[in-house]
Amino acid sequence: MSDALQLTRPELVCPAGTPASLRTAVDAGADAVYCGLQNETNARNFPGLNFTAAEVEQSLAYAHARNAKVLLAVNTFPPAGKFQMWRDAVDAAARMKVDAVIVADMGVADYAARTYPDLRLHLSVQAGASSPEAIRFYCGQFGIKRVVLPRMLTVAEISELHSQIPCEIEAFIFGNIGMMAEGRCYLSNYVTGQSTNMDGVCSPAADVHYEEDAARNLTTRLGDYVIDRFAGGESAGYPTICKGRYLCGARNDPYYAFEEPVSLNLSALLPDLMRAGVTALKIEGRQRSRAYVKSVVGAFRKAVDDIMAGREAAFASLLALTEGRRETEGAFPSKRWR
Amino acid sequence: MTVRASKSELTLGPVLFNWQPERWRDFYFRIADEAPVETVYLGEVVCFKRAPLFDDYREEVAARLKSVGKTIVRSTLAEVMSKQERQMIDEVCAGPDMVEANDGSALLRLRGRPHHAGPFINVYNERTLAVLAANGVRNACLPPEMPASAIRTLAPEAAKLGVTLEVQVFGRIGLALSARCYHARAHGRTKDTCQFICNVDPDGMTLRTLEGKPFLTVNGIQTMSQDYLNLAGELADLQDMGVARYRLSPHSCDMVAVATIFRDALDRRIDATEATARLAAFDLDAPFSDGFYRGKRGHSWSHAVTSRSAN
């Protein structure tokens, strides 16, 4: 097929919350794996997750021996007085020669670019750069080589964007779909006192409460606020503010004011994304299990290879792995989502 | 009214809600005539679709504010993706007035000339501020979740860079932005077919939890706090840190009176208790908060005095 010839082989970028997950992702066919250190310097700062510097180093050896890359996310925003921790993370990344550092804060990007001119920088989705001009600002300022796009653009918009920016594009294709513009959401801090931007935390487990009544209805709470309620037997989602059910004057019944608890699945749009000029396809889920990583990475590895070979990409159902077992193509197919 | 010369400037942030154009115009006329604010931020920050609604009055309002000695700063859109949004950025940045950037597109356009960084630009630390200062940023309105500890560390560094700091001290807090319009969604519409339904809620639309507890406020693509930020009790502390500008975010309540209260508090004519008691006399329909500033849950409030109708 002529289609197959025109496409550039995209990089499959996969999540790793632990060294074991990283090895699983590499074995399942990841071209690159992204991970974070065990502190506030990355946006998945959860207990029991992430890597020590020594583990990153061992993981690099494992991945490089199998022709895969390791990207380190240093993608939160250091508040004044705490910059040293982020500086240390960048220093460690440079010393270990990770394949790229994923940055969001301008100060962190500036430190990395000036101190280690050869260190490859990717712009995190947390930087919220959603227009050609914003992306060009970061590229010009810090020599960014790749931008991770917010999950708010349509495929057509991504295609147009591609010709207007001097860097590669990485786009999310599967996993949790955050409804709020990344890097600009204080909802978690508003309710729990833990900041997504400064602490790398969203909906911390310590503030999550499940309450079951006599009729076995389950109420989920975050801090002082009810996020959702489920009838007996209904599968209950983790209480995330932007996936909750609320009341408002314009409606009679409770409704998902922001989004229903669905996951992003762009498997059907993969060829379109590749034609749009997307260099790297990103799977979300550093907090997910090894079994999840294995299934999802394996399925997308096969799909990308099939498309590159001009074959129809057949997906084993990924639906069982999606949040609430429901999936969406989100903003990507059309503007009607907005 | 004479604006009292003081090191601490009172500013009026952009109107974030979709008010009827005449109401919007008259609001600013009254601000021009009566409010003790030095700087007024003008421009649509939340939704590009709203901007043309104010075309008939924007320059008239700007001229009126300038004629009484107010400084005008044009605020840009916080979220920029589409052609129309990008064009809006170009137009605002091409004007002769000082501009406050609220996204990276505006930062690119304004590079090399003096400008402001708005609260939607993530300025959390001195190194970020240094990057922006080198590009021409002269004033930075900090993100609302910045705790006092970080502001205290940042302020002397900002002074070395020649950048003044600004902190929001009154009004609902912008908590999140989205590509999707939640006003339209609540009314069964989409952003493209919204018919400007956000204009029915002059202070935003309240979301309640399933228990009926007021929680958040929807303002188009923006999600805001339910409570009103009130840092009247922290002004002396902020002045001591060296914060130069104090931002009031406009609401449908009497903003001239709000400005007068904060001016009096900044000038120590009234104390924090008196200021909050006077603010609580407004019918705000929501409690106060100061949690972010204190490094606690953003919705929390440290004082005993609460808004009259809070309970």
How far lies A3's CA from each of A272, A275, A312, B152, in Å?
Answer: 11, 9, 12, 58
A303/A213 same-domain check: no
Percent of chain A whose predicted confidence (pLDDT) is above 70: 95
Give the relative orientation of helices B126-135 and A106-115 as an angle to the nearest 10 degrees: 80
Which residue in B86, B175, B187 has the most chain A C-beta atoms within 10 A of its own C-beta, making it the best mutation to test that interface?
B175
Whether residue A238 is contained in a domain is answered as: yes
**Residue A189 in contact with residue A241, Cβ under 8 Å?**
no
Instruction: Determine the distance from the C-alpha atom of residue B186 to the mean position of all C-alpha atoms in its chain, rounded to a whole number.
Output: 25
Assign residue A316 the CATH number of its domain: 3.20.20.70
For the cut 80, the answer to whether the pLDDT of residue A318 exceeds it is no
Query: A129 contacts in B (CB within 8 Å)?
Result: 104
Q: What is chain A's alpha carbon radius of gyration, rounded to the nearest angstrom?
A: 20
Parallel, antiparallel or unpaired: strands A168-176 and B222-230:
unpaired
Q: Which of A237, A256, A275 is the last residue of a domain?
A: A256
- Burial category of B172 from C-beta neighbours within 10 Å (exposed 0-12, middle 13-18, buried 19 and up): buried
For residue B5, the model assigns a pLDDT of: 37
A211/A105 same-domain check: no
Whether residue A271 is contained in a domain is answered as: yes
Of B131, B187, B225, the CB nearest to A190: B225
Read off the pLDDT band of A324 (50, 70, 90).
low
A157/A270 same-domain check: yes
A244/A146 same-domain check: no
Backbone region of residue B242 per phi and psi (left: phi > 0; alpha: psi in -120 to 50; beta: other values): left
CA distance A306 to chain B (A): 32
Instruction: Determine the distance from the C-alpha atom of residue B256 to the mean position of all C-alpha atoms in its chain, rounded to a whole number.
Output: 15
Interval B189-238: pLDDT, tens: 999 999 999 999 999 999 999 999 999 999 999 999 999 999 999 999 99
B175 to A150: CB separation less than 8 angstroms, yes or no: no
Task: Centre a 10 Å sphere on the Cβ of residue A13 and count the other Cβ atoms it contains.
Answer: 26
Nearest CA in chain A to B132: A106
Q: How many helices (H) and strands (E) does chain B have?
A: 10, 12
A150 to B111: CB separation less than 8 angstroms, yes or no: no
Whether residue A184 is contained in a domain is answered as: no
A129 to B130: CB separation less than 8 angstroms, yes or no: no
Whether residue A43 is contained in a domain is answered as: yes
- Burial category of A11 from C-beta neighbours within 10 Å (exposed 0-12, middle 13-18, buried 19 and up): buried
Of B149, B207, B218, the CB nearest to A81: B149
Closest residue by Cα to residue B308 from B247, B249, B253:
B253
Tokens representing residue A109 in the block: 């990007």
A226 to B209: CB separation less than 8 angstroms, yes or no: yes
**Residue B255 in contact with residue B12, Cβ under 8 Å?**
yes
**Residue B139 in contact with residue B116, Cβ under 8 Å?**
yes
A148/A282 same-domain check: yes
For the cut 50, the answer to whether the pLDDT of residue A102 exceeds it is yes
CA distance A179 to chain B (A): 6
A150/A166 same-domain check: yes
Closest residue by Cα to residue A113 from B126, B132, B103, B131:
B131
A209/A165 same-domain check: no
How far lies B293's CA from each of B11, B234, B281, in Å?
Answer: 19, 9, 23
Q: Which of A206, A241, A256 is the last residue of a domain?
A: A256
A187 to B176: CB separation less than 8 angstroms, yes or no: yes
For residue A236, the model assigns a pLDDT of: 84
Can you tell me the distance from the alpha carbon of B100 to that of B259, in angstroms, rounded to the nearest whole number? 21
Can you tell me the distance from the alpha carbon of B200 to that of A21, in angstroms, rounded to the nearest whole number? 50
Of B108, B128, B153, the CB nearest to A133: B108
Whether residue A182 is contained in a domain is answered as: no
Whether residue A215 is contained in a domain is answered as: yes
Whether residue A249 is contained in a domain is answered as: yes
Q: Which of A256, A278, A313 is the last residue of a domain?
A: A256
Interval A238-266: pLDDT, tens: 899 999 999 999 999 999 999 988 888 99
Query: B129 contacts in A (CB within 8 Å)?
Result: 107
Of B126, B186, B187, the CB nearest to A80: B126
Of A130, A140, A257, the CB nearest to B207: A257
Please report, as a single letter, which amino acid is at residue A26.
V
SS (H, E, C) B141-201: ECCCCCCHHHHHHHHHHHHHHCCEEEEEEEEEEEEEECCCCHHHHHCCCCCCCCCCHHHHC
Mean pLDDT of B37-48: 98
Whether residue A289 is contained in a domain is answered as: yes
**Residue B231 in contact with residue A269, Cβ under 8 Å?**
no
A146/A272 same-domain check: yes
Mean pLDDT of A97-122: 98
B298 to A137: CB separation less than 8 angstroms, yes or no: no
Which one has a higher pLDDT value, B171 or B1? B171
CA distance A21 to chain B (A): 31
Query: B209 contacts in A (CB within 8 Å)?
Result: 225-227, 246-247
Query: A195 contacts in B (CB within 8 Å)?
Result: 145
Can you tell me the distance from the alpha carbon of A291 to that of A24, in angstroms, rounded to the nearest whole number? 9
Task: Centre a 10 Å sphere on the Cβ of residue A114 and count the other Cβ atoms it contains.
Answer: 11
Task: Centre a 10 Å sphere on the Cβ of residue A153 and count the other Cβ atoms it contains.
Answer: 23
Please report, as a single letter, which amino acid is at residue B271.
D
B297 to A181: CB separation less than 8 angstroms, yes or no: no
Phi, psi (degrees; rounded to nearest 5) at A153: -100, 150
For residue A326, the model assigns a pLDDT of: 72
A301/A193 same-domain check: no
Of B104, B124, B215, the CB nearest to A78: B124
A271/A246 same-domain check: no
Can you tell me the distance from the alpha carbon of B285 to that of A138, in angstroms, rounded to the nearest whole number? 42
Interval A41-57: pLDDT, tens: 999 999 999 999 999 99
Can you tell me the distance from the alpha carbon of B176 to that of A325, in angstroms, rounded to the nearest whole number? 26
How far lies B101's CA from each of A138, B36, B292, in Å?
Answer: 15, 24, 23
Q: What is the domain range of residue A246?
A: 189-256
Domains, chain B, in order of start with CATH, read: 9-174+227-284 (3.20.20.70)
Can you tell me the distance from the alpha carbon of A312 to that of A201, in angstroms, rounded to the nearest whole number? 39
Interface contacts (A, B; CB < 8 Å): 228
Can you tell me the distance from the alpha carbon of A20 to that of A17, in angstroms, rounded to the nearest whole number? 8
For residue A323, the model assigns a pLDDT of: 53
For residue A151, the model assigns a pLDDT of: 86
**Residue B107 in contact with residue B213, Cβ under 8 Å?**
no
For residue A2, the model assigns a pLDDT of: 45
Can you tell me the distance from the alpha carbon of A162 to that of B308, in angstroms, rounded to the nearest whole number? 53
For the cut 70, the answer to whether the pLDDT of residue A206 exceeds it is yes
Domain count of the fold of chain A:
2
How far lies A189's CA from each of A157, A246, A286, B296, in Å?
Answer: 32, 19, 21, 8
A197/A299 same-domain check: no
Closest residue by Cα to residue B183 from B166, B167, B211, B203:
B203
For the cut 60, the answer to whether the pLDDT of residue B120 exceeds it is yes
For the cut 50, the answer to whether the pLDDT of residue B308 exceeds it is no
A9/A102 same-domain check: yes
Query: B92 contacts in A (CB within 8 Å)?
Result: none
- Burial category of A162 from C-beta neighbours within 10 Å (exposed 0-12, middle 13-18, buried 19 and up): middle
